[in-house]
Structure formats: C-alpha cells, structure tokens
Amino acid sequence: MNSIAILDFGSQYSQLIARRVREQHVYCELHPWDTPPARVLAASPKGFILSGGPASVYAANAPQIPAYVLESGLPVLGICYGMQALTHALGGKVAPAPQQEYGLAQVRVLRPNALLPPGEARVWMSHGDRIDQLPNGFASLAKSDNSPIAAMCDALRGYYGVQFHPEVHHTPSGPELLRRFVIEICAAAPNWTPESIIGESIARIRAQVGQQCVLSAVSGGVDSSVATALAHRAIGNQLDAVFVDNGLLRKDEAARVVKTFRENLGVCLHPINAIEEFMQALRGITEPEQKRRIIGEKFIRIFEEQAQKLGQPPFLVQGTIYPDVVESSAPDRAQGQRIKSHHNVGGLPEEMQFELVEPLRYLFKDEVRAVGEALGLPAELVWRQPFPGPGLAVRCLGEVTWERLERLRGADAIFTGELEAAGLLTMKPLTPALSRGERAGVRAGTSQAFAVLLPVQSVGVMGDQRTYQEAIALRAVTTEDFMTADWAQLPHELLGRVSSRIVNEVAGVNRVVYDITSKPPATIEWE
C-alpha cells in the first residue's frame, strides 16, 4: 500500500502532521508510538514520521522509538521530540538547552540536502532540549541562534530530523519540506485523491455489509450527507436513510433537510418527529457531557425502533470524521485526552443493535467536501457550514427548554442571515490547482458561525424599564482543518447591526457579545 506511518509521541500538533501529508495526496495513518507493530505495518508504509512530544528522551519511562521502525530499513523523519528520540536511539546525545526555544525562529541551512530548501527560513520552535552530539553517520543540516543542530540527516539510511515543526502554518516552508520527504525521499505516490477515496470507501462498505440492508443517520450536514451518498453509491437500494427531527435544529432546517435529500440524493428518506421525546429526556439537564450522552443514546434507540419497522437492518451509517475521533479520544488515539464526547463517537451507548459503518472516519473536513464534490452533490450542501450532531443542545448552555431553543434559533437566524447577505457565511470553493498560500489569500467568509445562548442574566434598559434577561454570544471562526481555528475579524458595522436586531427582535435577550478566542485554547463550540 502507498502510505506513511506517523507515530504520535503526544504532540499537540500530531494531527496536523497527518493533515499536511494528506495535502500531498498521500495517505497516512496516525498511531500512538506504542501501537503493536503488526497494526502499523499492515498498511505497508513507505516511511515513518515521528511526532513531537512533551517528554525528555533521557527521562525515566520516556517514549522511545520502537525497534521495528529502525529495523524496517525505511526512511524516517523525526520532528522535535521525534528528532531527539532518533538521536537517542542511535547513540547521539540529547541534553537540556541552555536557553529554551519557543515560538518563531530563523534557521540557516548549512549544506545542500534532499530535505530542506537552501537559504534561511522562518520556523516554529517548541523545545527545551537540544541535540548536543550527533549519532555516527549524521551531518548537521541547519542551525538557529539557540539550536546549533536544528536539522540533521544520515542520507545513506534515509534518516532525517528537524528540531522545528514543519506541520504548523508558522513554518511557511513546512509543506515543501514534507513534500520532499514523503514524495522524493520515501517515493510515495501522490494518489490519495477524492476519486481514490470514493473507490476505496465503496469497496470497504460493500465488503462490510454484503447484501444486507443498512440504515443511514442523516442530519442534513456535510458529513452525514457525504457518508450517506457514499453508502448509496456503494449499495443502492439496500440503504434507507432516517432523519430525526429532535427539536434541536436551526430555524426551518427540518423542512430544508427533507427537501434537499429527496431532490438531490435520490435516497429513500424516512423523516421522524421525535421532538417531544428529546425535550423530555433533556429536561433539567445542564451538564454538557450528560447532554451529549443522552442525545447519543436517544438517537440510537430511535434508530433501533425504526430498524424494527424496516426489517431490522444490522448496520448504521454515520458521518463520523477524524476530528470527532481525535477530540473524543477514541481507543485508537490512546495519546489523546478527551476534549468532549461527540454524540456519534464518545456519546454512543455501549450496547446497541447496530454495527457502525463510518466511511469518513479518518477524513478531515476539507477531504469530506472534496469527496462530496466528486460525488456530484450540490455546492450548497457540500459547502454548508458544520453543525454539531447534538444540535442546538450544545449551543444552548444550561437547561434545554423549548422557549430557550426558540430564543436561540431566532438569534442564530439573524446572525447567519446577516453574514449571508454580506457574503461572509461560507468559504468559497477553491480550485485544487491553487497552492496553499494562494488558497489562504483568496479564501473569503467564515468557516463556522453561530449564536450561543448563555444561562446568564444581566440588567438592561428597554423602553425606560429595567430588564433582567439572557445574553447571546456570537461565534465565528476561520480555519483550514477545524483542528485549529482563528476568530473571524468581522466588520464592526455588521456586528453592530446583528446586535441591534437580536435585542430588538428576539424576546428575552438584552445583551450580545462576540467571542474572540482562538482554538486552542478554546474549542469552536462552547460545549
């Protein structure tokens, strides 16, 4: 198989390494560093990338490079801790740096090599240790003010290391560095394309379900729509789609979802009105994780009831994507910490009647969109902004009641409506021929924008009378991969107009604030 294996030593940037390799149209898999060798080698990788990590290689019980990596004879690229681990494993010396190096730095390339473009480059450093002595057979490739060995290589064995992080956008030459390693040094073919993803997904779905019938959970969002379209392409009339109106949708969304699916996907769709069931189950619940678990279990139980009416299909299609898996710290991401339970990953009940079919499980959001376009789905569906599986329950902080949901729906409709009128609601589709820098330069709009209802009441004045009402927070971000995000710098005039409309048109709201927090440290959603 044509792939790259990434071993995760606990870096906060590990998922970005995978994202950048995928940008080179090469498939990669991300594994905890101590994953059993057979599982890592099952994809027949062309090379290994070792991530950064918070440990020191000389500390007791520090993660080390598994023996099979060096025994494989394949090229290896160590990033930050990965470079130090490579040095330590091969007899070099790693020691605490006299001066730690965090943030932007300039590196100077010392000699021609297969990995680094010549000259000086701005890079992102994040380390407290450094290489004091190279292993035998290695040469220093670059230096910075605080890292005399900022990059190294043993070209004969195909071993490379960089002290900086090429995967983050603060290192502009990072994509070229990774391209050189993956394509030129590892000789991986750039054949990870939307068409190849579709072909492989169809084959996996058919192999998994055979001739049996399948249910698909649809919400009208990008992920569930693309997953359903893939399943329909694979098994046709074996698929029945179920849309559950749980009362947690945006304004007029239920009718729009039904119309879109029936007109564009040609899938047999079964709408279910379960508003009362969800409202009753969420009554009095304020803790975010408990909300997600309740919603996840309620969804599954409703699908099980529908399955009985449809002859008990044993499979359920879900639009789980890679960030869902990472943030929910699924068992195959042992290095990760649970950020939140996604209703279709960590929020599922332990016992259920279905075997899950998740064709998008290891795709990033923009890969999902590219697959959707290749499947011929309409642009308004493919480029629709993300919406959480648990719906407005995660944007209605505190208890979820119908009155508060209607309040939130009204505010959200005003915000997104004004953004749409200003041409700022969605990212514009971009041609694949554009470089990463060109894409960033022409991308317009917000990646995700929505309103949040806070369980906080504050004093206001309306019509010369004192009010004591709730607050709305507006959230809008820009991002490439949804693993990190920046807050959108929206025009002040637009924000002022949105605030004025909300307090005048939405009953029970007397204050509007704008969230200017990036991810990290915050998540995109508030719960």
Question: In degrees, to the nearest 5, what angle opens at C-alpha 16 toward C-alphas 12 and 22?
Answer: 155
Strand 486-487 to 465-478 pairing: antiparallel
Tell me if 422 sits within 8 A of 477, measured CB to CB.
no
For residues 146 and 140, what is the distance between their CA atoms, to the nearest angstrom? 14
H or E element that contains 128? strand 120-133
125 Cβ partners below 8 Å, 6+ apart? 101, 102, 103, 104, 105, 144, 146, 147, 163, 164, 165
Tell me if 141 sits within 8 A of 153, measured CB to CB.
yes
Domains belonging to the chain, first-starting first, are 3-185 (3.40.50.880), 194-382 (3.40.50.620), 396-514 (3.30.300.10)
For residues 72 and 69, what is the distance between their CA atoms, to the nearest angstrom? 5
Residue 520 preceded by cis peptide, ω within 30: yes
pLDDT computed for residue 366 by the predictor? 83
User: In the beta sheet, which residues pair with residue 124?
Assistant: 104
Tell me if 365 sits within 8 A of 321, measured CB to CB.
yes
> If we measure between CA atoms, which residue out of 186, 11, 174, 165 comes closest to residue 102?
165
Q: Is 280 exposed, middle or buried (0-12, 13-18, 19+ CB in 10 A)?
A: exposed
For residues 261 and 270, what is the distance between their CA atoms, to the nearest angstrom? 10
> If we measure between CA atoms, which residue out of 381, 352, 349, 393 comes closest to residue 246?
393
Residue 353 CB neighbour total at 10 angstroms: 14
Tell me if 442 sits within 8 A of 429, measured CB to CB.
no
pLDDT computed for residue 345 by the predictor? 39
- Residue 114's φ and ψ, nearest 5 degrees, are -80, -10
- Output the DSSP codes for 327-385: HTT-TT-TTS------TTTTTS-S--S-EEE-TTTT--HHHHHHHHHHTT--HHHHTPP
Q: 25, 88, 127, 165: which is the annotated catalytic residue?
A: 165
User: In the beta sheet, which residues pair with residue 486?
Assistant: 478
The two tokens of residue 144 are 């910075």
H or E element that contains 79? strand 76-79
Which residues in 350-504 belong to E strands, given as ranges? 355-357, 448-462, 465-478, 486-487
pLDDT computed for residue 347 by the predictor? 43
Quote helix, strand, coil % in the chain, to nearest 5: 35, 25, 40
For residues 48 and 70, what is the distance between their CA atoms, to the nearest angstrom? 10
**Catalytic annotation present for 80:** yes
Residue 455 preceded by cis peptide, ω within 30: no
Q: Which regions of the chain are under pLDDT 50? A: 329-347, 428-443
Q: 23, 29, 167, 480: which is the annotated catalytic residue?
A: 167
Q: Does residue 109 sit in helix, strand or coil?
A: strand
**Catalytic annotation present for 167:** yes
Q: Is 507 exposed, middle or buried (0-12, 13-18, 19+ CB in 10 A)?
A: exposed
Q: 23, 29, 80, 327: which is the annotated catalytic residue?
A: 80
**Catalytic annotation present for 165:** yes
Residue 383 CB neighbour total at 10 angstroms: 18
pLDDT computed for residue 350 by the predictor? 61
- Output the DSSP codes for 219-272: -SSHHHHHHHHHHHHHHGGGEEEEEEE-S-S-TTHHHHHHHHHHHHT---EEEE
pLDDT computed for residue 229 by the predictor? 92
What's the Cα-to-Cα distance from 397 to each of 57, 278, 346, 400, rounded to whole Å?
Answer: 43, 16, 20, 8
Handedness of CA 297, 298, 303, 307 (dihedral sign): positive
Strand 3-8 to 48-50 pairing: parallel
| Maximum CA extent, the chain | 80
User: In the beta sheet, which residues pair with residue 37?
Assistant: none
210 Cβ partners below 8 Å, 6+ apart? none
Tell me if 335 sits within 8 A of 33, measured CB to CB.
yes
